[in-house]
Amino acid sequence: MIYTVTFNPALDYVVRVEQLITGHVNRTTSEEIYYGGKGINVSVLLQTLGLDSVALGFIAGFTGEEIEKGVKAQGIQTDFIRLPEGISRINLKIKSESETEINANGPSITESAITDLFEKLDKLVAGDTLVLAGSIPSTLPDNIYEQIMERLYKKDIRFVVDATNDLLKNVLKYKPFLIKPNNHELGEMFGVTLETEDDIIRYAYELQNMGARNVLISMASEGAILIDENNMVHRMGVPSGKVVNSVGAGDSMVAGFLAGYMKTGEYSEALRLGTASGSATAFSPGLGSKELIETLLQKL
């Protein structure tokens, strides 16, 4: 079974503003709400591609209840832990001449809630896949993903980690199957600005040397670069299309990659389905549909 963990689920409130002017009252031309958070998006896209998963994580308050209801309504099995205080985040995504995002910190996660999560994760068995995705509230230590992987390391579980900075760096020694920072996050992790593809490949190899098996660097409209565990470098551009809302494109790419690998055992196919899934989401108001993913796949 595939399990996704979202420490910090969110309602993504996507608003369009013709011209955003800071320091003024701005009026929207449209608004939509989506059930988000990185692990949840991965579960939704996996479902779209015909793979079941269980969505784990922490929810709080009325927003948390809404997230749980919305995710379940999409046919996804959930096993969230309810926090005693606070509310799950509402992340603001402003579409204007450019995309501006305000991602909230999220509710505090209590020690007993962490213990509950560890108990759920202890039930995973060899052959399961665990996707750890997204930020954690600032009240938690940034070795929390590391603690989880340390606990499960000997069980032959396939780990996928979509996180940044120390949260990601700290887990590399446990040899995650896949990590997917974007090119900006890759640069930030090493305190450098990456100008060329050669630079990106060099630092992606650095992450592989630190332990990651497959390193996928996404580059939005520029596509992605994969260094697979056999040391092969794969490069893929994007299909043509009109960008509607790229929130969740990275999560869709992670889900598509995983589904592509599980179906074919080939990294080149995993990258193709990952790309088609990421672009399908970028070209849709919410996450990409099966039909659009299949159409885009034919173009790659």
Asked if residue 248 binds ligand FBP (CB under 6 A), the reply is yes
Dig out the tokens for 51 from the structure: 């793979």
Picked from ligand FBP, ligand ADP, none, the partner binding residue 48 (CB below 5 to 8 A depending on kind) is none
By three-state DSSP, how is residue 102 classified?
A: strand
- 134 lies in the binding site for ligand FBP (CB under 6 A): yes
| CB half-sphere exposure, 93, CA atoms < 13 A | 21
Looking at 75-83, 193-201, 246-254, 260-268, which segment touches ligand ADP (CB under 6 A)?
A: 246-254
Question: Which residue do the tokens 């120390």 mark?
Answer: 166
Q: Which stretch binds ligand FBP (CB under 6 A): 46-54, 145-153, 204-212, 244-252?
A: 244-252
Q: Cβ(166)–Cβ(136) under 8 Å?
A: no
Residues 279, 296: contact at Cβ < 8 Å?
yes
The reply on whether position 55 binds ligand ADP by CB under 6 A is no
CB distance 45 to 70 below 8 Å: no
DSSP class of residue 100 equals E
Q: How far apart (Å, rounded) are the C-alpha atoms in residues 70 and 24?
A: 33
Residue from 44, 133, 152, 253 in contact with ligand ADP (CB under 6 A):
253
- Bridge-based pairing of strands 214-218 and 224-227 is antiparallel
State yes or no: is 251 an active-site residue: yes
* Beta pairing partners, 4: 55, 131
Please choose which of ligand ADP, ligand FBP, none residue 278 contacts, taking the beta carbon within 5 to 8 angstroms, the exact cut-off set by kind: ligand ADP
Residue range at the interface with ligand FBP (CB under 6 A); choices 167-175, 242-250, 258-266, 289-297 = 242-250
Binding to ligand ADP (CB under 6 A) within 183-242 occurs at: 218-221, 223-224, 238
Q: Which does 91 bind (CB under 5 to 8 A by kind): ligand ADP, ligand FBP, none?
A: ligand FBP
Name every residue whose Cβ is closer than 8 Å to that of residue 210 and which is 6 or more positions away in sequence.
Answer: 169, 172, 173
List binders of ligand FBP among 18-57 (CB under 6 A): 36-38, 41
Q: Taking CB within 5 to 8 Å according to partner kind, which of ligand FBP, ligand ADP, none is near residue 47?
A: none
Site string for ligand ADP, 165-184 (x = CB under 6 A): -----------------x--
- State the DSSP string of 158-222: EEEEE--HHHHHTTGGG--SEE--BHHHHHHHHT----SHHHHHHHHHHHHHTT-SEEEEE-GGG
Which residues does the annotation mark as catalytic? 251
Q: Which residues bind ligand ADP (CB under 6 A)?
A: 182, 218-221, 223-224, 238, 243, 246, 249-250, 253, 275, 278-279, 282
- Give the interface with ligand FBP as residue ranges (CB under 6 A): 8, 10, 12, 36-38, 41, 91, 103, 134-135, 247-251
